[in-house]
Structure 1
Amino acid sequence: MPTLTVAIDARLVTTRNTGDTSYWRGLIRGLAEGETDATYLLYSNAPRPDWIPDLQRFRWIHLDGPSRWWSLVRFPAAARRAGASVIHTQYSLSPLAWRRGVTTVHDVSFMIEPDWFKPKDRVLLQWQVPASCRRARKVLTVSETSKGEIERLIPGTRGKVVVTPNALGDNIMPVSPEQARQVVAESFGVAGPYLFALGTRWPRKNLRLAVEAFQRLGPAMGLSLVVSGQPGWGVEANCPGVVYTGYVSDEQLSALYCGASLFLLPSLHEGFGIPILEAFACSCPVLCGPGGAMPEVAGGAARVTAGYSAEEWAGAVADLLSDSSNLDAMRARGHERLQHYDWGTTARLTTDVYREVAGC
């Protein structure tokens, strides 16, 4: 049997934690714990992170070059010279992938609602992703919902999209509620009960809805709202009781989940929704919207709203917080649902795709 050698565009594993970064970190760790008769060439234009497996079959290859030409020319050419039998990228797959390309597409929200994106980003994605999917031998995605959307919206993809789900990242470290409240109070000055929302402040993440729902009931219930994540387009105005933290450390993020009365995910669309699993791991009940794969991932363990009105969300928050026994049941269901996702399974599914594409 020919040796399997996989070249991976590993640039995202060195960036701040996002859903995409979590996917690549989890996949690489899962591959390291799996079969030992494959070699992985991890190409990046950044230094090797300490967490990359220190194994002979994992090689970190530093490759310089302008960003635009890196993915189109430098990376695929270097992978080909190295004798890679498969090349694995995200969203962008070069024509130089010589029919052994695999690309991961987390979602196609830029095709579902283009106005969620800046014009420059929208035009690039709408050209780049469909072209890459057509070139690829296989397209990987993270949920059945995303698979259906890709096959529906991108001609020529039906039959070659494979679901390789996300799972919980190792950045989440649950602590006791008492420890969590201490970290949150010391880090952000929030001493009482609070709601927690997370995400980049871009239109699709819809964090404005969390603020509007909070304004309807939070102060009257003695609550604060803590919002964490990357600043972006459409940042909400400050209002009393709302604390914007910006980026947080892994320790702070875990504490924010563990100490929250409720986690709010009002995103208009998610290809998966990793924060749902993070909240489940931290015993934090989840209120999320119906967009994209969130109901699929929640699997009945979260409260899923019918829509996105501030009135509905405020009512849902008040209803959930008034029933402690239901919150306890949601926590238990969340822990159970979490067991459906693990990186070992995702790595095995991905390796099966690699072997099919490589013919080995």
Structure 2
Amino acid sequence: MKDPVVALDARLAGTQNTGDTSYWRGLIWGLSQTCGEAQVTLFGDTPRPAELGDCPFRWVEVQAANPRLWSLVALPRAAKESGADILHTQYNVSPLTACPAVTTVHDVSFFVNPLWYGWKDRLLLTKGLPASCRRAKQILAVSETTKREIEQYIPAARGKVTVTFNALGPGFAPADKTVAKAFLRSRFGIETPFVFAITSPWARKNSRLAGEAYSQSLLAETHRLVTCGPGEAIQPGSLHLGYVDDATIRNLYAAADCFLLPSLHEGFGIPILESFASGTPVVCGPGGAIPEVALDAAWVCPDYRPETWAGTLDRLFDDSGKLEAMVAKGRDRVRDFSWLDTAAKTWEAYGRAAAGG
């Protein structure tokens, strides 16, 4: 059987850097290293993003009146016109799709706790994803945890789910810690040691816990809390940088004395790997796939009480030998994940889909 020709929904490859963005950039890079340029066509609703660099795959800009019509009508039509054997999407498989479809599901947190979402998103996701999973020939999950949760909440997905892990972004080059501190001092006036967290307005991300834990810990006397991401500062006296570019993120990871990930649920948790790669300790919680990704290389708190997290922060630097060992484990853990491996497993899923299931 000949290799399939794949149409790929690449809209998120050029957006603000999120976990979904990292996934599509990493997968596209991995596929570009392992298959011919004529085998994959990237579809988006904007001009080709600069972030794709010298990726050899063709980019096709497709327009529609709104994002839902783009996914429902415009993308399936464009994929059919391109002669694609497979259409690869995220979460949504249109009933108008003419060829076998593969869809990636990053998490099903809207089933785990629907109250984390507004009613409109909750309705769209809890009704739409099961229908898409019924239509899809293959479903890709970014962790074993996500696979189990998909199969738990969506019986129609059982037998069709393959785990294709996320990995550290191919362009993520950890910053030197001394250089990073000098960069942040010059650009933002950050002079003191600091604790770092990435904020989000989504309830599931639980950003305020980072501020509450920091304020109750002894580190509040010696460190500053520095955050970036959408929204406002999560703690009085903290430094909130808003959206920052990739270079600044790398410097923040490298210069921080620890990274806090207070999310209540993750399908994977790429920031864990980014912090590990930067040689920075991670304090996180037990939600979703976080323990699966972190293993024993992070301080995984057993609950989400601020006093529990504050106590973990207080003990973080008590044993320098343990701290160094954990940092080394983190760097080793990063090497367990590869976009080349993920691309290979994804290509195998394309083949199964093209063969009928």
Q: What TM-score, normalized by structure 2, do the two folds share? A: 0.95
Verify: 1:312 aligned to 2:308, yes or no.
yes
Is the 1:32–1:53 contact (alpha carbons within 8 Å) kept by the matching residues of 2? no
Q: Are 1:239 and 2:214 matched, yes or no?
A: no
**Residue 106 (str. 1) matches residue 125 (str. 2):** no
Shift of 1:137: 0.6
Secondary structure, in 3 states, of the residue corresponding to 1:255?
helix
Contact 1:3 1:38 in 2 (8 A): no
8 Å CA contact retained: 2:218, 2:314: no
1:212-271 Cα deviation digits (max 9, x unpaired)? 01111256531111111122xxx565412x111111111110111101111110100000
1:331-359, Cα deviation, whole Å (9 max, x unpaired): 10011111100100000000000011112
1:258 is paired with a residue of what secondary structure?
helix
SS in 2 for 1:175: coil
Query: What letter corresponds to residue 293 of structure 1 in structure 2?
Result: A
| 1:192 aligned counterpart, secondary structure | coil
Contact 2:29 2:170 in 1 (8 A): no
The equivalent position to 2:261 in structure 1, one of 257, 260, 265, is 265
Counterpart CA distance in 1 for 2:315 and 2:83 is 59
Query: What is the alpha-carbon distance in structure 1 between the residues aligned to residue 21 and residue 342 of structure 2?
Result: 15
Over residues 9-55 of structure 1, what are the superposed CA-to-partner deviations in whole Å (9 max), with x where a residue is unaligned?
11111101100000000000000100338611111110112343646
Structure 2 residue runs of 5 or longer lacking an equivalent are none
**C-alpha contact (below 8 Å) 2:212/2:235 kept by paired residues:** no
Q: Distance in 2 between matches of 1:355 and 1:284?
A: 39
d(CA) in 2 for partners of 1:79 and 1:220? 54
Task: Quickly say closer, same or farther: Cα 1:220–1:272, change in 2 above 3 A.
Answer: closer
Q: Which residue of the partner structure matches residue 13 of structure 2?
A: 13
Number of residue pairs the alignment of both structures matches: 355
Q: Counterpart amino acid of 1:45? A: D
Tell me the amino acid that sits aligned with residue 342 of structure 1.
S
1:214 is matched with 214
Q: 2:283·2:298 contact (CA, 8 Å) conserved in 1?
A: yes
- SS of the aligned residue for 1:353 comes to helix
Aligned pair in 2 of structure 1 residues 325, 55: CA closer, same or farther (>3 Å)? closer
2:9–2:90: 8 Å Cα contact kept in structure 1?
Answer: yes
Tell me whether 1:355 sits opposite 2:354 in the alignment: no
Equivalent of residue 338 in structure 1, options 316, 326, 334: 334
Is 1:63–2:62 an aligned residue pair? yes
What is the CA–CA distance in structure 2 between the aligned matches of 1:224 and 1:237, rounded to whole Å?
13
Match of 2:244 among 243, 248, 254: 248
Any conservation in 1 of the 2:142–2:163 contact (CA below 8 Å)? Answer: yes
For 1:167, the equivalent position in structure 2 comes to: 167
Q: Distance in 2 between matches of 1:80 and 1:55?
A: 23
CA distance in 2, matches of 1:298, 1:6: 33
Task: Answer yes or no: is the 8 Å Cα contact 1:218–1:224 preserved in 2.
Answer: no
1:163-211 Cα deviation digits (max 9, x unpaired):
0010001343222221111122223322111111114232111111110
Unmatched 5+ residue regions in structure 1? Answer: none
Pairing of 1:106-125 with structure 2 (within 5 A): 106-125=106-125
Q: Which amino acid aligns with 1:182?
A: A
Structure 1 window deviating more from structure 2 (58-67 vs 143-152): it is 58-67
Q: In 2, distance between residues paired with 1:200 and 1:170? A: 24
Give yes or no for contact 1:173–1:251 (8 Å, CA) kept in 2.
no
Equivalent residue, structure 1, for 2:187? 187
Q: In the TM superposition, what are the counterparts of 1:66-81 in structure 2 within 5 Å?
A: 66=65, 67-81=67-81
Partner letter of residue 21 of structure 1? T
Change (3 A) 1:352 1:314: same
The match for 1:93 is 93
Is 287-296 or 172-181 further displaced after alignment?
Answer: 172-181
The structure 2 residue matched to 1:299, chosen from 295, 305, 314, is 295
TM-score normalised to structure 1 length? 0.94
Contact 2:134 2:157 survives alignment (8 Å): yes
Helix, strand or coil at the partner of 1:83: coil
Give 3-state SS (helix, strand or coil) of 2:157's partner.
Answer: coil
Identity rate of aligned residues, in percent?
48
8 Å contact kept, 2:3–2:351: no
Pairwise CA distance, 1:155:
1.9
1:121 partner SS: helix
